[in-house]
Amino acid sequence: MSRQNYSVECKSRKQLRFLAEKVREILDLSDRVMFPIVGLLDVFSKTFDNFSYEIVEDDQLPDDIHAETDIMSGHVTIKQSVYDGACEGNGRDRMTIAHEICHYITLCTLGFRVQRNFRKEIRPCEDPEWQAKCMAGELMISKRLTKNMDPLEIAEACGVSFDAARYQYGIFRSEEE
Ligand SMILES: [Zn+2]
């Protein structure tokens, strides 16, 4: 998404986790520890009329943007290096694609209500960036499937970066206290 100030209806991590599990269930991927995120781009292209994606040369997007989703058109643009990295199993790049897909799912298929935000502060649960980050983490790292794993095991089994694995692990642990 572009970096304007948008807010969305509040969704909790619990709700986004439920949604991530639903996505896995619908795609018959409930037991797949390593979520095949790159393949989902083609599945979505075939399934949803309002989804499309495009791989562009790296210089087509600003340096600090790896990929972006136009929520009006449902069009996802991905840098070539990110797409290639994701195909090769790079955790960061896989998570980037998951993030964009989660923007699409929350805003374009489920139609979480978006509005320009003129207030100064929005709560994290109302921030589309937080929602996409949270749901992408839940989609790529299933709490259910990683119960007895440590961060290193999660990173390897789920195909995510160690940082993402450690972050998600910390969330799961904090929920058990
Ligand atoms: Zn985003």
The model scores a pTM over 0.85: yes
* Ligand 1 centroid from CA 53, angstroms: 15
Cα separation of 106 and 31, whole Å? 23
Encode pLDDT of 129-164 as tens digits. Answer: 999 999 999 999 999 999 999 999 999 999 999 999
Residue 71 confidence (pLDDT) above 90: no
Beta-strand pair 52-56/67-70: unpaired
* Ligand 1 centroid from CA 1, angstroms: 5
* Ligand 1 centroid from CA 70, angstroms: 10
Encode pLDDT of 87-133 as tens digits. Answer: 999 999 999 999 999 999 998 887 777 777 666 678 899 999 999 99
Provide mean pLDDT across the span 61-82.
95
Cα separation of 11 and 1, whole Å? 18
* Ligand 1 centroid from CA 38, angstroms: 17
Q: What percent of the chain has pLDDT over 90?
A: 82
Residue 32 confidence (pLDDT) above 60: yes
Show me where the domains of the chain are located. 6-176
Residue 46 confidence (pLDDT) above 60: yes
Mapped onto helix, strand or coil, the DSSP state of residue 54 is strand
Cα separation of 28 and 151, whole Å? 26
* Ligand 1 centroid from CA 68, angstroms: 7
Neighbours of 103 (CB within 10 A): 25
Residue 4 confidence (pLDDT) above 60: no
**Model confidence band, residue 176 (pLDDT cutoffs 50, 70, 90):** confident
Residue 2 confidence (pLDDT) above 70: no
Provide mean pLDDT across the span 64-85.
95
